[in-house]
Amino acid sequence: MNSQRQSPLYRSRLLQPGADRSPDTHPLTWRLRDDGQVVGLKEYESKEGYRAVSQVLNGHDPGAVIAAMKEANVRGRGGAGFSAGLKWSLTLQGDDIPRGYIVCNADEMEPGTFKDRLLMEQQPHLLIEGMILAAFANNARYGYIFLRGEYVESARVLTAALAEAREAGWLGPDIAGSSFDFDIALHTGAGRYICGEETALLNSLEGHRANPRAKPPFPGQSGAWGKPTVVNNVETLCNVPAVMLRGAEWYQGLSGDRTDDGGTKLYGASGLVNRPGLWELPIGTTGRELLELAGGLREGRKLKAWLPGGASTGFLLPEHLDLPLDFDTVGKEGSRLGTGLITVVTEDQSMVALMRNLEEFFARESCGWCTPCRDGLPWTVKLLLALERGEGEAGDVELLDKLAADCGPGLTFCAHAPGAAMPLQTALRHFRREFEQGVRYPRGKAHADPIPAGGV
């Protein structure tokens, strides 16, 4: 048994053993075993596994799959929430168009996020089945799973599952007796956050430096090696088999009257909670419900703020705990649902130190292509460090406002910089006094050289 699997910390992140999960209510997790071991091919097949592939490849046309995905309103679980069905309907297809690729984005480097890992390590065949269905809908010939390099256990499990699926005829020529052929390769990345941005991912996959590409053309028109390519998140793809087996209406209904978004979501909680973990819940579940599932805050702590879905989302406050966590509602509050794994910040934690930590991450992970991101983020770190030490100078907080605004949407080549700006802007808005308290010197007296040579 793998040592990672035996670690109590790792086990605490699994879904709660014995929880009441059924195929009717938990499309992503009902097959998971309480002992945390991998659901292998035989067990997966005995639990409706690959049934959707058999039915769809032998009885449907690709347009029907796309229509079902649109009707179910499956929104991308990689963070942006773009409709998967709509994305698929824009992929170039036709007799004179070469067959392209399905790329599964398994880079999962967003701080505070560990949901795709659960799916890959314990239920790899669900992802493979979702990719086959996506390939059929988009006329793709090959698939790639672009996996975060540090996910060694995921790589081991996926490699074994791909071999099992190939051996059983679920991958390769004439899948399930149909005339459809498709195969998947696993590609492990070298561990950079920017490789999760879909076009940087494609450059990396092709063996180039992971700089984002200009859009348009979008990957659906010209993606990997210039062919039509669909990039979807692990969790998004894992939803496809259930949509095809049980129907779009059923999927839509899973969220009840909480929200217009359909289905369930792998939500999670981390930070100073009693029981960090993951739960498959109806989309539109509230932050308060998540906190309850996580056993509340650790003793004596009081909630100060929370990130709804990873480090690149904006801070929400305790007053937002009863909002449904769906893409549009969270967006209206000036944040993003992101990956849906909340991170709590308690009253005793310094917002300045926390922001310095996050911006160090974003500065380090910048690909260096655009000035506000390449130079602005290290500058932000320098200012935050000074404020954290109580050695800031007058004007530093206003300078942070400006640097964050310069990283806003549309001002840089990709969404990395806006993702770095959002937590900073919301922290400055809600907790400005904490930043101002770090000012000690008059302007020009503390740090004359604002841009650190060589970055941070």
Ligand X SMILES: Cc1cc2nc3c(=O)[nH]c(=O)nc-3n(C[C@H](O)[C@H](O)[C@H](O)COP(=O)(O)O)c2cc1C
Positions touching ligand SF4 (CB under 6 A) are 194, 212, 366-370, 373-374, 412-414, 416-417
What is the Cα–Cα distance from 131 to 112, expressed in whole angstroms? 26
Taking the least distance from each CB to ligand X, the nearer of 29 and 113 is 113
Tell me how far, at minimum, the Cβ of 1 lies from ligand X, in Å: 28
What is the Cα–Cα distance from 384 to 144, expressed in whole angstroms? 40
User: Binding to ligand X by residue 105, rule CB under 6 A?
Assistant: yes
Among ligand SF4, ligand X, none, the one that 367 touches (CB under a kind-dependent 5 to 8 A) is ligand SF4
Tell me how far, at minimum, the Cβ of 198 lies from ligand SF4, in Å: 12
What is the Cα–Cα distance from 243 to 430, expressed in whole angstroms? 40
Taking the least distance from each CB to ligand X, the nearer of 62 and 79 is 79
Residue 245 is inside which H or E element, if any? helix 240-246
Among ligand SF4, ligand X, none, the one that 417 touches (CB under a kind-dependent 5 to 8 A) is ligand SF4
Tell me how far, at minimum, the Cβ of 436 lies from ligand X, in Å: 30
Tell me how far, at minimum, the Cβ of 367 lies from ligand SF4, in Å: 3
Tell me how far, at minimum, the Cβ of 455 lies from ligand SF4, in Å: 12
Amino acid at 142: Y
Q: Which residue has the tokens 């002992």?
A: 35
Interface with ligand X (CB under 6 A), residue from 232, 259, 264, 425: 232
Q: Is 68 exposed, middle or buried (0-12, 13-18, 19+ CB in 10 A)?
A: buried
Interface with ligand X (CB under 6 A), residue from 77, 125, 320, 382: 77
Tell me how far, at minimum, the Cβ of 417 lies from ligand SF4, in Å: 4
What is the Cα–Cα distance from 36 to 15, expressed in whole angstroms? 9
Tell me how far, at minimum, the Cβ of 254 lies from ligand X, in Å: 18
Site string for ligand X, 80-99 (x = CB under 6 A): x-x-----------------
Q: Which residue has the tokens 């494609």?
A: 202
Q: Which two tokens stand for residue 358?
A: 């996050």
Interface with ligand X (CB under 6 A), residue from 62, 130, 189, 196: 196
Sheet with 341-346, strands from edge to edge, namely 277-282, 264-270, 341-346, 303-307
Among ligand X, ligand SF4, none, the one that 285 touches (CB under a kind-dependent 5 to 8 A) is none
Q: Which two tokens stand for residue 351?
A: 């917002």
Taking the least distance from each CB to ligand X, the nearer of 108 and 129 is 108
Side-chain-side CA neighbours of residue 287 (13 Å): 24
Residues 379-438 contacting ligand X, CB under 6 A:
414-416, 419
Interface with ligand X (CB under 6 A), residue from 15, 69, 109, 202: 109
Residues 5-44 contacting ligand X, CB under 6 A:
none
Peptide bond into 124 cis (omega under 30): no
Residue-by-residue DSSP string for 326-390: SHHHHHHTTS--TTSEEEEEETTS-HHHHHHHHHHHHHHH--S-SHHHHTHHHHHHHHHHHHHTT
Tell me how far, at minimum, the Cβ of 350 lies from ligand X, in Å: 26
CB 100 within 8 A of CB 144: no
Interface with ligand X (CB under 6 A), residue from 26, 27, 50, 108: 108
CB 146 within 8 A of CB 195: yes
Interface with ligand X (CB under 6 A), residue from 129, 164, 198, 326: 198
Taking the least distance from each CB to ligand X, the nearer of 77 and 304 is 77
Binding residues for ligand X, rule: CB under 6 A, are: 76-80, 82, 105, 107-110, 193-194, 196-198, 231-233, 236, 414-416, 419
